[in-house]
Structure 1
Amino acid sequence: MDIRNMIYNFYKTEGCRVTLTQIQEKLITEYDFSGKRTSLYTIIKKLGFRWRKTKNNQRVLIEKTDIRAIRLNYLDKIKYYRSQGRPIVFFDETYIHAGIRSNSWTDNTGNGLLSTISKGNGLVIVHVGGEMGFIPNCMLIFKSGTKSGDYHDHDHMNTQNYEEWLTEKLIPNLPPNSVVVTGNAPYHNVQVQKAPTCNSRKTDMVDWLISKNIPFSPNLLKPQLYEIIKHNKKQHIVYKFDRLLQENGHVALRLPPYHPDLNPIEMVWAQVKNSVAKKNVLFKLEAVKTLTEEEFLSVTVEDWMKCCQDVVKVEDNYLQNEIRVDMVVEDLIITASDSESSTGEDDFENLSD
């Protein structure tokens, strides 16, 4: 179960504040969670939640408004693209250890809270698919920390590897007019003509503003120019690989941060990894690689369609929850500040909540 949805369900079903103790107890009862309280606290913060004071001076766990806004924007866009009948394909990268085995509890962010024993070497796997199944000829699988073929220094995907994969494997095989849903890894987000920073030269700031047709006075000083840049830079971000897809008739769409439950390929990874874990008796990388390739071949279009349909239900659930969460949170919170934080929220004293 996704921790984010667990928190939402507390609001939805009980209409009350959520504490770290409640979440931990539910995880222990339903998922045999044995992780540390501090680890759970860190995960919840990483997912974008913060504690704020309520009317009775207790703390309520609330998702940051900017995360909710990003998610709502994503949900609006993907539903619009579906209404247009455009093919929607989901990209992701995963990792399988040579020592993979069953019964590893996960928080659904892609990281196991109980690590596998004797991880050993691993395989990096990159693939893309949707309701049509896996896109043919797009799977990339390689040993981490090795060099092979046209891909270099394989600890993980990086900008160079991603560009090669995109141009040589993905784009030539995509259905026309596709929407490619990606995550937020740094190699997805290489910017074209990145906005100047506060340390940039004044002439670079001026050139950037002129190139974006943003009005400014030539008499402004450098700090004043930078204020204008800060105010405008978000709406002028252009990503290198988004442009590459656009030039080939496709669109890139980024998932909200820390929302693997909105990516059906996560369920496909789970299906493949669970099967590999059950059959892995040698704990050798070559054997795991063979098992993995075999299991990918066993994933059907029907499997993919079910995963995609399940994700649509998750999307609808988020939209339904938003109204309920607004009502509960507004009733609980004492402050009307735009800030998402309250004094001391980042202190480990809150672990006693």
Structure 2
Amino acid sequence: MAKIEGDENEKNALDCQHQDILRTIFEKCKYESVHGLQRPLELYRERVLYYTDTTEHVLDAVLNSENVSYRPDLFDRAVINDSLKTMYAQQESFSFNDIYEKIKDKVKVPDLNSFCRAMKQLGYKPMNTNYGNIIVEDPKLAYERYLFLKKMFKLRAASKAIYYIDERTIDLNKTFKKPWLDNEDVTNNEGYVFFHVVSRNGLEKGLFCNQANAEDFSKWISDIVLSFMKASSVIIMDNSPLHGKTVIEPISRHHTKADMLSWLQRNNIPCSPSMRKAELYDLIARCPVKDRQYQLDLIFQAHGHEVLRLPENYHDLSMTELLWEHILSSAFSFETTNVFNLKTKVYNAITTIRQEKWLQFETIIKDTENNIFVVDQAIEQALDAYEIDPRDVM
């Protein structure tokens, strides 16, 4: 529903504790606008505690609650997006509850509250339109996904070698989760973190670490991974903190005209050298994508490779995700109380996967990319019939 600035009902809906947290965050952001960041970006827990004046105990309680919440996988999101496509075409108002009623028998969603929370975390929110309230994804996310998929189609058509880089926690819980994604510390004293590179040919390289950090990961890439990659390859990975820090800030008015043109071209935004800097920056300011470059990406680029970061909320659009689903559902026995033995069993399970299974993984990912692209396009066209309340996009 459209937000009305100064709406007293909306203010009253916030309890005193929420109002205090908002005031605290506002004052600290205001202070930082003059004095700069007060906590380093990589210290994300400390940043949350600083901004909210929250205790470690409260933060852990909230995160533990989030950990058990529903997270739609690729299949669930395909069902959700297909339902949204149909509902947009009907040009009627609908809510989170309406979507839930349509998909609850097709996906394993626990309940309505879990579904609503998951959808909001994925960037969906109510919008007021000429046909009433509807649920719409943040267009920035759809745009970034479009750019990723278009690049993937182009690179696949050029028959580039594609490598997927990832990591998993190997411990006696045997869940093989991604560190960081589930608020886990990658320093695992009771197990390992497994760095690995896979391709259509199988496991290319792997490394088990006890003390895993971004420096270890970067050294593994530089010393081992780069040595076996084919020339002009493509590297796919997500934005895990292990995968490097950003080294270039988004473009500003103070950059040169050449910098602005380069930025726009990198983001596939039409522009012309004949345009003035003010015109170029106007395009940049209106662009929903952020130009994020990472130190690790620059290392790959220096060796002639191209890096693509998985779109936000689509970290599982990777062959590694299918690999670990296969490992968890396979007949391999991981019964052991010794983490070293578990490490050996996991490694043997991965290395004995037959070539046709890896090719099947590749086909599934390619088909999924195509399906996402087609459905996103249909949703975009259907949404053209809607007029969004301008107060909802301010």
Fold in common (TM above 0.5):
yes
2:182 aligned with 1:129, yes or no? no
How large is the RMSD of aligned CA atoms in angstroms? 3.9
Instruction: Report 1:185-224 matches (<5 A).
Output: 185-192=240-247, 194=249, 209=255
> Which residue of 1 is the match for residue 276 of structure 2?
none
> Which residue of 2 is the match for residue 140 of structure 1?
207
Task: For 1:287 and 1:64, locate their aligned partners in 2 and report how far apart those are by CA, in whole Å.
Answer: 45
> Which residue of 1 is the match for residue 23 of structure 2?
none
**Number of residues of Structure 1 aligned to a counterpart in Structure 2:** 292
Task: For 1:132 and 1:164, locate their aligned partners in 2 and report how far apart those are by CA, in whole Å.
Answer: 24
Secondary structure of 1:192 counterpart: strand
User: What per-residue deviation string (whole Å, max 9, x for no partner) do you get for residues 276-317 of structure 1?
Assistant: 8x6233354234222211211122322121111111111111
Conserved? CA contact 1:94–1:124, under 8 Å: yes
> Which residue of 1 is the match for residue 135 of structure 2?
61
Secondary structure of 2:166 counterpart: strand
Task: For 1:91 and 1:74, locate their aligned partners in 2 and report how far apart those are by CA, in whole Å.
Answer: 16
- Decide whether aligned partners of structure 1 residues 31 and 336 sit closer, same or farther in structure 2, where only a CA change above 3 A counts: closer
Structure 2 spans left out of the alignment, 5+ residues: 1-72, 262-280
Task: For 1:325 and 1:196, locate their aligned partners in 2 and report how far apart those are by CA, in whole Å.
Answer: 30
Aligned with residue 304 of structure 2, among 220, 239, 249: 249
2:62 aligned with 1:7, yes or no? no
> Which residue of 2 is the match for residue 239 of structure 1?
294
> Which residue of 1 is the match for residue 266 of structure 2?
none
Conserved? CA contact 1:89–1:181, under 8 Å: yes
Q: CA deviation at 1:210?
A: 6.2
> Which residue of 1 is the match for residue 63 of structure 2?
none
Conserved? CA contact 1:96–1:273, under 8 Å: no
Task: For 1:31 and 1:8, locate their aligned partners in 2 and report how far apart those are by CA, in whole Å.
Answer: 12
Task: For 2:107 and 2:286, locate their aligned partners in 1 and report how far apart those are by CA, in whole Å.
Answer: 46
Task: For 2:381 and 2:286, locate their aligned partners in 1 and report how far apart those are by CA, in whole Å.
Answer: 33
Aligned with residue 85 of structure 1, among 144, 149, 159: 159
Q: CA deviation at 1:171?
A: 0.5
> Which residue of 2 is the match for residue 41 of structure 1?
116
For residue 116 of structure 2, what is the amino acid of its counterpart?
A: Y
> Which residue of 1 is the match for residue 96 of structure 2?
20
2:147 aligned with 1:73, yes or no? yes
Q: CA deviation at 1:52?
A: 1.1
- Decide whether aligned partners of structure 1 residues 98 and 74 sit closer, same or farther in structure 2, where only a CA change above 3 A counts: same
Task: For 2:161 and 2:391, locate their aligned partners in 1 and report how far apart those are by CA, in whole Å.
Answer: 38
Task: For 2:259 and 2:146, locate their aligned partners in 1 and report how far apart those are by CA, in whole Å.
Answer: 29
- Decide whether aligned partners of structure 1 residues 97 and 13 sit closer, same or farther in structure 2, where only a CA change above 3 A counts: farther
Task: For 1:97 and 1:39, locate their aligned partners in 2 and report how far apart those are by CA, in whole Å.
Answer: 28
Secondary structure of 1:245 counterpart: helix
2:267 aligned with 1:267, yes or no? no
For residue 181 of structure 1, what is the amino acid of its counterpart?
A: I
For residue 388 of structure 2, what is the amino acid of its counterpart?
A: T
- Decide whether aligned partners of structure 1 residues 292 and 304 sit closer, same or farther in structure 2, where only a CA change above 3 A counts: same
% of aligned pairs identical? 19
Q: CA deviation at 1:268?
A: 0.7
For residue 292 of structure 1, what is the amino acid of its counterpart?
A: V
Structure 1 spans left out of the alignment, 5+ residues: 113-118, 147-152, 198-204, 216-226, 342-353
Q: CA deviation at 1:25?
A: 4.9
> Which residue of 2 is the match for residue 149 of structure 1?
none
Aligned with residue 127 of structure 2, among 47, 52, 68: 52
> Which residue of 1 is the match for residue 217 of structure 2?
162
> Which residue of 1 is the match for residue 376 of structure 2?
322
> Which protein has greater RCO, CA pairs closer than 8 Å, 6+ apart?
1
> Which residue of 2 is the match for residue 310 of structure 1?
364
Conserved? CA contact 2:232–2:306, under 8 Å: yes
User: What per-residue deviation string (whole Å, max 9, x for no partner) do you get for residues 232-277 of structure 1?
Assistant: 998875421122111112111111111134212210111123338x
Task: For 2:107 and 2:250, locate their aligned partners in 1 and report how far apart those are by CA, in whole Å.
Answer: 45
TM-score, normalising length from structure 1? 0.69
2:354 aligned with 1:280, yes or no? no
- Decide whether aligned partners of structure 1 residues 55 and 283 sit closer, same or farther in structure 2, where only a CA change above 3 A counts: farther
Secondary structure of 1:279 counterpart: coil
For residue 53 of structure 1, what is the amino acid of its counterpart?
A: N
2:372 aligned with 1:298, yes or no? no
Task: For 1:232 and 1:329, locate their aligned partners in 2 and report how far apart those are by CA, in whole Å.
Answer: 20
Task: For 1:340 and 1:210, locate their aligned partners in 2 and report how far apart those are by CA, in whole Å.
Answer: 30
Task: For 1:310 and 1:292, locate their aligned partners in 2 and report how far apart those are by CA, in whole Å.
Answer: 23
- Decide whether aligned partners of structure 1 residues 60 and 29 sit closer, same or farther in structure 2, where only a CA change above 3 A counts: same
For residue 345 of structure 2, what is the amino acid of its counterpart?
A: L
Task: For 1:56 and 1:27, locate their aligned partners in 2 and report how far apart those are by CA, in whole Å.
Answer: 22
